[in-house]
Structure 1
Amino acid sequence: MKFLQLIFSCFVLFCFWGTSPARAAQPGATGTQKTIDFDFDWRFHLGEVPAAKEKTFDDRQWRKVDVPHDFSIEQDFDLNHPSGWSGAYLPGGIGWYRKTFDWKPAKDQKVFVQFDGVYMNSDVWVNGHHLGKRPYGYISFQYDLSPYLINGQNVIAVRADNSKLPSSRWYTGSGIYRHVRLAVTQNVFIPTWGTFISTPQVTKDQALVQLQIDLENASGQPTKLTLLTDILEPSGKKVTQVSQQLTLNPGQRTVTQKATISKPKFWSPEKPQRYKAVHRLQNGKQTLQEYTTYFGVRTVEVNAKDGFVLNGQKMKLNGVCNHHDGGPVGSAVPEDVLYRRLKLLKEMGCNAIRTSHNPAAPEFYTMADTMGFLVLDEAFDGWDKPKAKYDYGHYFKDWWQKDLADFIKRDRNHPSVVMWSIGNEVPEFEPERQRELVEALKKLDTTRPVTQARGSSSPYIDIPGFNGEGEMPETLEKFHQKHPDKPLLGTEITHSLQTRGVYASKTSYRTRDFPAPWEDGVKWENFKSKVFMIPDLTQEEVFQNNSKFYQSSYDNAIVRIGVRDQHKRTESLDYLIGTFRWTGFDYLGEATIQPARTANFGILDLAGFPKDHYYLYQSLWSKKPMVHLLPHWTHPGKEGVAIPVVAYTNAETVELFLNGKSLGEQKMPEDLQIVWQVPYQAGTLKAIARKGGKVVAETSVSTAGAASNIRVTPDKKQARANKRDVIHMEVDITDTQGNLAPEADNLVKFTLTGPGKIIGVENGDIIDFASMKIPQRKAFKGKCLVMVQTTDKPGEIVLKANADGLKSGEVKVQVK
């Protein structure tokens, strides 16, 4: 049998967008090229002000803001707002931004303003000159300011229009919600996204590096150049240099250089090692530009026989889908917030992320490269036909080619990006449109396969992607029988729901028990054959009085298939290269039960607190020894009632103790969870996990007494005075012994002093519509979170947390 085999090699680019691997949003100056942070000291007005595009407009009464800035998340929830349940009931609007800056134009200088993302329908002016419009709110773009800059004071004005709602099927945010910078070069230069590095031939002994470099001459006359490229290995040692002499005529030209790396160090999720290419454009002794490209060396093979093969090693994509919001900060997500989220996923054992359903912020890819994630990079949700009343579908026909090209050029050199997706659940799409998209993409990058979520009905994609339909029994198997040479991918598998701290011992199914709007009228008797049924943990429900908005944290609240069943299925099907769970984190919007801020699909909640499924995935995906027990052990009034106690572990056996007495040691069964029926009595449950008879992990959970204390735990003790660093302060309601009170819902009020500001509060409760921007929050299941961002002043941040009847908590963080 001849198998489809797609072989792909690696690369990665960071030029103006993402120069620094540690802080993608803060590129530094290099040689005669420099990037200038343009995030701070903007003026903002919510509402239409047409005259604000003019340089002479008086904006002194406008509010001062820094970007990234999301003006939707600042507004109050409104259950009657047109954004509706898909947009988390948060308003949009028209927002105007203006920034005044001094400039001294220089001879032979080019100046560009670069936006990582503005949602949506952005228009940009400089000194009253209209630079352009971009409808797509997720695309990065730039404009040339050079012809319009004057000596002295200049003004950039930006209008973002998200007034027609819903503009998406999920919460989008509004405004300049990603970073902005100025890029300054000579008029002979390598343009933005102007390098493309690939490794077409790779062995363990050597890698052939091909460097495709765009050059632009805006000087108006031929220029003699030397193009020097130094390649540095991950340690910083130079391994080779390439030199090329050329005469560059006015206009653009692409040149190709080749180099060889001996004994290459491969990039992988376990060892995300990167090389660096430093390109220097020289005119005689003058260096016109120094331009840095980070890249990695890796190989990818994808076929139906072996699945996904990275650097010669078979592996599964153990992935999650993530939307772009950061919970209480909305779409304006600071790097520290994004890093915390990715770190939690990494520690869970996740090795892949799908950017659902749009390009992510540039810093995400830098972190994916350096932390070691495989990325399924998705361009669009829908195409020509709008999926929400006012979404990008209205602009797709006129803009998709430009937006797709910018997207590919921006991201095509990241070693983390292993696959492109051109769409998600595109309704009634024409096969010809799929062909056009794939062909346009492959003109820019032939080194990666292309997929489309729920796009298997048309033949032009390399890897058919399956969403919910792929969870149904025999769907993947039957498709494979018809297309045995096609590798398959679970682009959105599986869907299950959990609420942190909530438990039910009997299985629930969304279609039967809490149907989504599109499932109204579906008869369970007709649908249940499409579901992998999960046995109840008990004959009678143990836990009562759960809200319809909350789902069980056992693996027993599902749409079509549970986590454990899907894991067994994924491991058993060689042609299924992996799956992307819906979702990694709870996200704002798309609430399937209303009114609510979201649905409970995430493995972690809106505050970034892990649910029990986090540890289930950790037991399946990670190698570090672990064991986890659920549920909590505070159940007053249930004395003597048998409660299902479940252990997740990647060890061989677990022994359970209650108040020091062994309840038996069990081997991990094929069911991938160990269950004891334990008559409840207050005290301590302890689990000891063993492998080969040796203890490798243990954990315990104790009955909590009455709530009495507030404990505040920061994720860092020291921060920088840079207006960017964020401290996540985890707030726990505990008893006198420090045990979490799992049902505590006290209103906690916060007082902050020192060089910081509260940028978000959250508790993970999807039906709590309180503002996420005020200094108080009710605890949900004993916990809430405060996000504090530093100012530009050094000093000591002190956060005090108070609640009626509880001993207050306090934490201090030094800012330098």
Structure 2
Amino acid sequence: MILRYFVFTALLAAATAARGQESIRLTANWEFIRQDLGGVWEAVRPGSGADALAGGQSSNRGGPESVPVWQPVTLPHCINARDGVDPDGNYYQGPAWYRTMLAVKNPYPGGRVLLHFEGAGQATDVFVFTTRVGRHIGGYDEWTVDITDAVAAFRRDSVEVKRFNDLIPVAVRTDNSRDAERIPSSMSDFTIYGGLYRYVDLVYVPPVSFAGVFADAMVEGATGRVGVRALVYRPTASRVAGISFLLKDAAGKVVAMKEAAVGEGDTLDLGSAVVKAPRLWTPDRPELYTLEAMVRDGNGGVCTYTTQIGFRSYQFADHGPFLLNGSRLLLRGTHRHEDAAGEGAAMTEEEMRNEMILMKEMGVNFIRLAHYQQSPIVLHLCDSLGILVWEEIPWCRGGLGGARYQEQARRMLTNMISQHYNHPAVILWGLGNENDWPGDFPDFDKSTIRDFMKGLNALAHRLDPGRKTSIRRCDFCSDIPDVYSPSIWAGWYRGVFTEYRASTEEEFKKVPHFLHVEWGGDSHVRRHSENPDKALLHVRGGQGTDERTGDASLYGGAARVSKDGDWSETYICNLFDWTLKEQEKMPWLTGTAQWVFKDFSTPLRPDNPVPFVNQKGVVERDGAPKEGYYVFQSYWATKLMAHIYGHSFPMRWGDEGEQKMVKVYSNAAEAELFVNGMSAGVRKRNSQDYPAAGLRWAVIFRRGENRLFVVARRGAAVVRDSVSFQYQTEKWGKPAKMELTRVGDGDTVWVRVRLVDAAGVPCLDAANWVRWGLAGDGRLIDDLGTSTGSRYVQAFNGVSMIRVAMRRGRSVVSVAVDGLPTGFLNLSKN
């Protein structure tokens, strides 16, 4: 009983804001400036332009002497939407300001007015007119400020009320400046974004509402039981007249309900209710129940809090597999960073939904949310799609800071658990990542880190006794959490990919509960190879497969594929293919998570083929699938699919009459390949027949155009795929010239440069750096962090492409490659 009370009160300590009856998402009518102000008065004073904003107009400049110039924006908005992948400089880290006007009309007599932030980076101050109403440190957890009293105070100033047309001026200052005493560390391998990059809501609640409701859904044999606890929010000490809850199944039928005793104080245990034969939550059938908690005040007002829960049990068997609801489930996972081309961290709900559906269609049933608490929208999607979750706090690299640093880590862990407590998808609370990586502080004391990790582990278990804890890559702390993931990067940072199974089995024996997160490698989209495993000839096997500090560098050190390989999609597909077929024959394996689903921005990788982008995704930063996506789909997806390797491989090469391999990634039982209209035969699928699970053919291409077509079958179901390409037999020398062409027409056109030798033969293995430029009326569509969306980028197979937004008039595109004459192309729009 004492433990239960402690858990409850610890959770409630993180629940600092009410959940409301009425919520308005504030996306429009915002202005922004990427610099600091002398103070909040500069955002609201006469002549600042705030008056125009109150009239529903973008102010830009308030008058001839107004400083600074504000820009209209829509939320979510990231101050580093593009400069995070600017190849020519560091991204901005510093203060920024936002402002808006709110029409505050609370429908509840005596109720409260709140601003709810789903996340903002990284230190945030909120003002109503000139009064600071809240401050939050941390870029990823949710938080709320009560602006009721400040709104009332502002409305007592008749002059300002008239100036702002009875609207409430709100200003928000965000700051993502470097700060060693704040997590995450600047050594973290991802961009520490700034801005209001998640949604902000205006919330109205009655005088009595909820600050948090916590549901424990338990499976007891064939019976379910749900226990409910709540924290009441009543800053004016209004009387609680009654409190209750009910539970509905997916069809909306009430399956349990309970009226609880009111009790004393604001922390209330509502008791539990039995659910007969509950439908269990699984990745294949993610059954969700809706819990509604209701609190009544003394004047008859009612506040309802709604959340979804699921009944499921799980276990990491000692030195064995993962069990969900008593049956083995191989965790087939990936990772997610909150990051997108042209937007940084400011992804919309629709974009998040599309991304998560793309994961599910790949066959994912598990995800590690790296390396911070993510949008509540993502957690809800994991619940509804059936994707199990490891979520972690951003204690990532750099060592361990002082009291302020450590308090933030504890607070973020508490917030993460309290805010995502009810999600059935969550099975692991991550305590840290790569905490064996020093650098931020003069001292790096392993014993101090161990002590702090033990404290976080104990805190997580007090807050949530029903879930497990985890960390990745900190061997001297591997005994602390419930589940540990070591570093295994077979075939990329160390070793060769054929060592994967042996390395994994060796690490599996070291800890009672093992889970392998982070494996894979980088690939430069549209770069392909006829000899992808060449780099493996220079890599020594038997030296371990763990990532070590400095391995991400493209210079120096031991031979490794990450430095010496070609970064082709061909190679990474081979690595994926081998690893996935090995995982299928490891009955003791709990599961793995490939790193990472989507390419993302990072300041630590300026020399990558796309500068400042970690290119280990199976989709590009704009969400376009790479070839590797279909390798995973062929092993994991249930829906019938087939994909001929090389949709982005328009020119293959080799000798005339040479046999070349054609691979089809498919989950079909068999497939028949047609080459230039002729059948090349039927192949049966066998997951252990590497590569491509036996769906491969030795084919002789004709010089010039070739067309491939595949028909794949599983019983009566049939799926087809096709691809065409040119086959080049001419040998080439080093690049000597550029061929620059325009592709397409319209408001946006592609420009392509091809590197050729002195005789004009395309150099199909050329990987030169290409720099794009433009003068005139058009605009380069760059700073996207993709293979065709950066003005400075490595060529893929001797080609580089970029888009130009056309405007009336003329533009001149330039292309520079070291050692070659600069190329120019005139563009015009009629």
Q: TM-score by structure 1 length?
A: 0.75
Tell me which residue corresponds to 2:591: 578
CA distance in 2, matches of 1:491, 1:138: 21
CA distance in 2, matches of 1:732, 1:369: 43
CA distance in 2, matches of 1:276, 1:307: 31
1:384-423 matches, within 5 Å, as: 385=399, 395-423=404-432
Of the candidates 502, 516, 521, which is equivalent to residue 528 of structure 2?
502
Is 1:45 aligned to residue 71 of structure 2?
A: no
Tell me which residue corresponds to 1:629: 644
Is 1:34 aligned to residue 22 of structure 2?
A: yes
- What is the deviation of 1:332? 0.6
CA distance in 2, matches of 1:490, 1:98: 45
Tell me which residue corresponds to 1:226: 242
CA distance in 1, matches of 2:428, 2:303: 32
Q: Which amino acid aligns with 2:130?
A: G
CA distance in 2, matches of 1:188, 1:212: 16
CA distance in 2, matches of 1:79, 1:636: 30
Distance 1:488 1:358, change over 3 A: same
- What is the deviation of 1:313? 2.6
Does the Cα contact within 8 Å between 1:135 and 1:395 map onto a contact in 2?
Answer: no
Does the Cα contact within 8 Å between 1:383 and 1:393 map onto a contact in 2?
Answer: no
The C-alpha deviation readout for 1:446-497, integer Å capped at 9, x for no partner, is 11111101134322200111233688644433344344xx121012123353
CA distance in 1, matches of 2:251, 2:803: 38
Q: Secondary structure at the match of 2:252?
A: coil
Structure 2, unaligned stretches of length 5 or more?
Answer: 1-10, 50-60, 62-69, 156-165, 180-185, 437-443, 540-549, 728-738, 753-763, 775-779, 806-812, 814-824
1:143-292 matches, within 5 Å, as: 143-150=145-152, 151=155, 152-164=166-178, 166=186, 168-191=188-211, 194-203=212-221, 205-220=222-237, 223-249=239-265, 252-283=266-297, 286-292=300-306
CA distance in 1, matches of 2:327, 2:749: 39
User: Over alpha carbons, which structure has the higher Rg?
Assistant: 2
- What is the deviation of 1:619? 0.8
Q: Secondary structure at the match of 2:590?
A: strand
Distance 1:196 1:220, change over 3 A: closer
Distance 1:239 1:285, change over 3 A: farther
Q: Secondary structure at the match of 1:175?
A: coil
1:401-480 matches, within 5 Å, as: 401-427=410-436, 429=446, 430-458=449-477, 459-468=479-488, 473=499, 474-480=502-508
Distance 1:55 1:496, change over 3 A: closer
Is 1:99 aligned to residue 100 of structure 2?
A: yes
Q: Secondary structure at the match of 2:311?
A: coil
Q: Which amino acid aligns with 1:184?
A: Y
TM-align CA RMSD: 4.5
Q: Secondary structure at the match of 2:36?
A: coil
Distance 1:763 1:137, change over 3 A: closer
Structure 1, unaligned stretches of length 5 or more?
Answer: 1-12, 20-26, 84-89, 387-391, 532-546, 713-728, 734-741, 750-757, 772-777, 788-802, 809-816
- What is the deviation of 1:782? 10
Give the percent of matched residue pairs that are identical in Structure 1 and Structure 2. Answer: 23
The C-alpha deviation readout for 1:372-399, integer Å capped at 9, x for no partner, is 211111112427727xxxxx99952231
Is 1:344 aligned to residue 358 of structure 2?
A: yes
- What is the deviation of 1:405? 0.9
CA distance in 1, matches of 2:197, 2:454: 33
Does the Cα contact within 8 Å between 1:500 and 1:781 map onto a contact in 2?
Answer: no
Tell me which residue corresponds to 1:137: 139
Distance 1:767 1:102, change over 3 A: closer
- What is the deviation of 1:37? 2.1
Tell me which residue corresponds to 1:491: 517
CA distance in 2, matches of 1:785, 1:244: 62
The C-alpha deviation readout for 1:51-106, integer Å capped at 9, x for no partner, is 2257743441322222111122255965453x3xxxxxx33332111222243677
Q: Secondary structure at the match of 1:409?
A: helix
CA distance in 1, matches of 2:653, 2:527: 18
Q: Which amino acid aligns with 2:23?
A: T
Is 1:684 aligned to residue 707 of structure 2?
A: yes
Tell me which residue corresponds to 1:124: 126
- What is the deviation of 1:409? 0.7
The C-alpha deviation readout for 1:95-131, integer Å capped at 9, x for no partner, is 1112222436775322221111111122222232333
Distance 1:520 1:326, change over 3 A: same
1:716-727 matches, within 5 Å, as: none
- What is the deviation of 1:305? 5.5
- What is the deviation of 1:654? 2.8
Does the Cα contact within 8 Å between 2:522 and 2:614 map onto a contact in 1?
Answer: no
The C-alpha deviation readout for 1:626-669, integer Å capped at 9, x for no partner, is 22212347437755443321121222333322122222333335
- What is the deviation of 1:172? 3.1
Q: Secondary structure at the match of 1:40?
A: coil
The C-alpha deviation readout for 1:182-225, integer Å capped at 9, x for no partner, is 2222232211xx1111123344x42111111222343336x242
Does the Cα contact within 8 Å between 1:116 and 1:180 map onto a contact in 2?
Answer: yes
Q: Which amino acid aligns with 2:431?
A: I
Q: Which amino acid aligns with 1:70?
A: C
Distance 1:779 1:606, change over 3 A: farther
The structure in which a higher percent of residues are helix is 2
Does the Cα contact within 8 Å between 1:763 and 1:779 map onto a contact in 2?
Answer: no
CA distance in 1, matches of 2:801, 2:425: 34
Distance 1:168 1:761, change over 3 A: closer
Q: Which amino acid aligns with 1:261?
A: V
Tell me which residue corresponds to 1:754: none
Tell me which residue corresponds to 1:544: none
CA distance in 2, matches of 1:110, 1:664: 72
Q: TM-score by structure 2 length?
A: 0.74
**How many pairs were matched up?**
693
- What is the deviation of 1:40? 2.2
Does the Cα contact within 8 Å between 2:339 and 2:621 map onto a contact in 1?
Answer: no
CA distance in 2, matches of 1:162, 1:523: 36
Of the candidates 659, 663, 670, which is equivalent to residue 653 of structure 1?
670
Distance 1:573 1:470, change over 3 A: farther
Q: Which amino acid aligns with 2:174?
A: A
Question: More deviation in 209-218 or 71-80?
Answer: 71-80
Q: Secondary structure at the match of 2:720?
A: strand
CA distance in 2, matches of 1:784, 1:299: 50
